[in-house]
Amino acid sequence: MYYYLGVDIGSVSSNFVLMDQYGNIREKIYLRTLGNPVKAIKEGFTQIKSRQGGQLDIRGVGTTGSGRHLADVLLGADVVKNEITAHAVAASAIFPGVRTILEIGGQDSKIIILKNGIVQDFAMNTVCAAGTGSFLDQQAARLSIAIEDFGDYAIRSRQGIRIAGRCGVFAESDMIHKQQMGYPTEDIIMGLCEALVRNYLNNVAKGKKIEEPIVFQGGVAANAGIKKAFEKVLNSQVQVPESYEVMGAIGSAMLAQEEREQSQAPGNYRGDDFILEGEFKSSSHECKGCPNLCEVVCIKRNQEILAYWGDRCKKWENSINRQDKLQVI
């Protein structure tokens, strides 16, 4: 038996999926990134190892999320892909024929329109994070409700009240105002869910045609209130996959499998020992080569330099990768 590893390093959560050669999900791990992706990657991998026990034959690794390049350096990925592709691949494998994917994560949200399993159009939020997980987290903390229970509160409400969803800051002051007027917490939370859905449809979906079947995924899909609000506003059924929170990781595991099955070359996976036994350090310095003063990040394993990035002119980045690239050619 051999496996494919899918890794999704996001701003808020780091997700890992171990998929076997037949496409079954053997393990899924959802961790908070907590501002330290290197530690999260190590931790996630250790957990997978200890849960599975013994030696794992990992044939391919796929990474996605904003930390995908970092994960690539640490693990040795065969596929490093953006979140759009990863989410679309996973959703259309689980729901063949899906037309619309609504994805809301910790700091970004996206909409993906598919036709025959191929992405036709997509959009991501640009400047506003009002409708995303971080904001919900913050509001749950303010009302001292566990984020896990937030959705249950919302669906208990019979009538959501109107909250301004245009901007996170105004939504918050609206909520405080309504709370001081004495409205029940359930109704306020449902109102917030509806406001966030309106915000999402106006700022992200921006008039794109949303057709059924619709799949809702990403960390926020755990919130039943948002799902209900989507169903109400869109007037159609919204499905949430079982592994909604790790769909990006599932997609990248699938992409890794696709890549490895097509290619004859040996995989890039660096081996268990590389990640488990090495000590990874990152440091940064200001390059004084030109007035750009780029902040160059350096990733080291023990004493060995693995990668540089952050320089506009690619002087540092290329200094380390050149050897590998030429060998490939």
Partner 1 sequence: MKVTFPHMGNAHIPIKALLKGLKLDVIPPPPISKKTMELGVKYSPEFACLPLKVNMGNFIEAIEAGADTIVMAGGWGPCRFGYYAQVERDILKNLNYDFRMVILEAPDSQVSELLKQIKALGENVGLWEAWKAIKFAWYKLNAVETLEKQFEYFLPRAINKDEVERIFDKGLENIDLANDRKEVNNFTRITLKKMQEQPCHNQPILRIGLVGEIYTILEPATNYNVARYMGRLNAEVTRSIYMSDWVNDHLLGGWIKKSRHGEIINCASPYLNYWVGGHGRETVGYTVDFARKQYDGVVQIGPLTCMPEIVAQSVLGKVSEREGIPCMTMYFDEHSGQTGIYTRLEAFIDMLQRQSYLQSSVRREEPIIAGI
Q: How far is the CB of 146 from partner 1 (least distance, A)?
A: 31
Closest to 251 measured CA to CA, from 9, 63, 37, 11: 63
Could you say which residues in the range 106-135 bind partner 1, by CB under 8 A? 116, 118-122, 124, 126
Query: Which one among 66, 109, 223, 252 touches partner 1, defined by CB under 8 A?
Result: 66
User: Token match 């917490």: residue?
Assistant: 185
Stretch that binds partner 1, among 33-41, 151-159, 162-170, 318-326 (CB under 8 A): 318-326
Note whether 329 binds partner 1 by CB under 8 A. yes
By three-state DSSP, how is residue 301 classified?
strand
Note whether 36 binds partner 1 by CB under 8 A. no
Using the minimum distance from each CB to partner 1, give the nearer residue, 140 or 204: 204
Count, residues near partner 1 per rule CB under 8 A: 25
Sheet of strand 109-115: strand arrangement:
118-124, 109-115, 100-104, 214-217, 238-239
Using the minimum distance from each CB to partner 1, give the nearer residue, 108 or 186: 108
Using the minimum distance from each CB to partner 1, give the nearer residue, 125 or 199: 125
Q: Are 91 and 103 in contact (CB under 8 A)?
A: no
Backbone angles phi, psi at 241, to 5 degrees: -65, 160
Stretch that binds partner 1, among 36-44, 81-89, 222-230, 233-241 (CB under 8 A): 81-89
Q: How far is the CB of 191 from partner 1 (least distance, A)?
A: 30
Backbone angles phi, psi at 126, to 5 degrees: -100, -70
Query: Which one among 52, 159, 237, 318 touches partner 1, defined by CB under 8 A?
Result: 318
Q: How far is the CB of 85 from partner 1 (least distance, A)?
A: 5
Using the minimum distance from each CB to partner 1, give the nearer residue, 182 or 291: 291
Query: Which one among 81, 99, 228, 301 touches partner 1, defined by CB under 8 A?
Result: 81
Angle, helices 224-234 vs 147-156, to 10°: value is 40
Q: What DSSP string describes 17-79?
A: EEEETTS-EEEEEEEE-TT-HHHHHHHHHHHHHHHH-S---EEEEEEESTTHHHHHHHH--SE
Neighbouring C-alpha atoms within 13 Å toward the C-beta of 306 = 21
Q: How far is the CB of 105 from partner 1 (least distance, A)?
A: 13
- Name 177's Cβ contacts closer than 8 Å, sequence gap at least 6: none
Q: How far is the CB of 231 from partner 1 (least distance, A)?
A: 26
Q: How far is the CB of 114 from partner 1 (least distance, A)?
A: 10
Closest to 104 measured CA to CA, from 127, 135, 82, 79: 135
Stretch that binds partner 1, among 22-30, 46-54, 75-83, 192-200 (CB under 8 A): 75-83
Note whether 292 binds partner 1 by CB under 8 A. yes
For the chain, where are the alpha helices, taking DSSP H only?
Answer: 37-52, 68-75, 83-94, 133-142, 147-156, 168-181, 185-200, 224-234, 247-262, 272-277, 315-328
Note whether 297 binds partner 1 by CB under 8 A. no
Q: How far is the CB of 70 from partner 1 (least distance, A)?
A: 11
Note whether 85 binds partner 1 by CB under 8 A. yes
Query: Which one among 1, 207, 235, 265 touches partner 1, defined by CB under 8 A?
Result: 207
Angle, helices 133-142 vs 168-181, to 10°: value is 30
Q: How far is CA 252 from CA 82, 89, 257, in A?
A: 9, 8, 9
Using the minimum distance from each CB to partner 1, give the nearer residue, 124 or 233: 124
> Residue 73 and residue 78: Cα distance in Å, rounded?
11
The binding site for partner 1 (CB under 8 A) comprises 66, 81-85, 116, 118-122, 124, 126, 207, 290-294, 314, 318, 322, 325, 329
